[in-house]
Amino acid sequence: MATEDELTGFVREALSRGATRSQIEAALATAGWRGEEVRRALGAWADVPFPVPVPRPRPYLSARDAFLYLVLFTALYITAFNLGGMFFQFIERAFPDAAQRVDPESFRRGVRWAVANLLVAFPLFVALTLSVQRAIARDPARRASRIRKWLTYLTLFLGAGILIGDLIALVNGVLSGDLTTRFVLQVLVVAAIAGPVFGYYLTDLRKDEKEDDA
């Protein structure tokens, strides 16, 4: 059974013999290769005018990148969690649950802790994001970092899970007739935080895929 290394070697040989990408793709599709496998094999070679096929940079993993991206995404998660927590505190203060005792000191502690986290994590996230974007602008091959893609997919997974859970909570509230102002505002806060994060990293990932297919 042919392996992906053999497939990549076949594509290299076909390109070196002057076959076009569409001809190679059609031949491999006829032979039973899946479209994703074919696109990945073709994507290993740059579409540039040169007598022999030119390889693209391979995805890499460096300790420095792993450290930067782990800190960056950790700062993102801390920022998102504490921003939501702070808004929840204000919502609960403005629309208290009649079944619970109001504790002003608990409110102050909650807001103080959220603000402390935000003052540290958010500037760190912004600074690291700008630093990474400048590094990628100088060296586009850095977009191929494996740790960056893994953490991006993890963030998309978490964001999708939160948004799905948020929608389920909203539908359950509608069906049970328990749509209080407090509940609706909390649902909107979750959506307003998780939605833009999910959208930003999904757009960034699609940009990577377009560049890989180019």
Q: What is the pLDDT of residues 153-204, one digit of tens each?
A: 999 999 999 999 999 999 999 998 888 899 999 999 999 999 999 999 999 8
C-alpha span between 137 and 131 (Å, rounded)? 10
pLDDT at 1 over 70: no
pLDDT for res 213: 52
Is residue 207 pLDDT above 90, yes or no?
Answer: no
CA 166, CA 172: separation in Å to the nearest integer? 10
Least confident of 31-40, 79-88, 117-126: 31-40
The answer, yes or no, to whether residue 212 has pLDDT greater than 60, is no
Measure the CA dihedral 141/145/148/154, to 10°: 130
Q: Tokens 């039973």 identify what position? A: 32
| pLDDT on residue 83 | 97
- Name the more confident of 107 and 212: 107
User: Residue 57 has what pLDDT?
Assistant: 72
Which distant-in-sequence residues (6+ apart) come within 8 Å of 81 by Cβ?
117
pLDDT band at 111 (very low <50, low <70, confident <90, very high): very high
Q: Please give the pLDDT value at position 143.
A: 78
pLDDT in tens, 138-158: 877 777 788 888 999 999 999
Q: Where are the domains of the chain?
A: 4-55, 63-213
Q: What is the mean pLDDT of residues 52-58?
A: 79
Q: Model confidence at 211, in pLDDT bands (50, 70, 90)?
A: low
pLDDT tier at 101, thresholds 50, 70, 90: confident
Higher pLDDT among residues 66 and 60, named by residue: 66
Question: Mean pLDDT score of the chain, rounded to an integer?
Answer: 87
pLDDT for residue 124:
97
Rounded distance between C-alpha atoms, residue 94 and residue 13, angstroms: 69
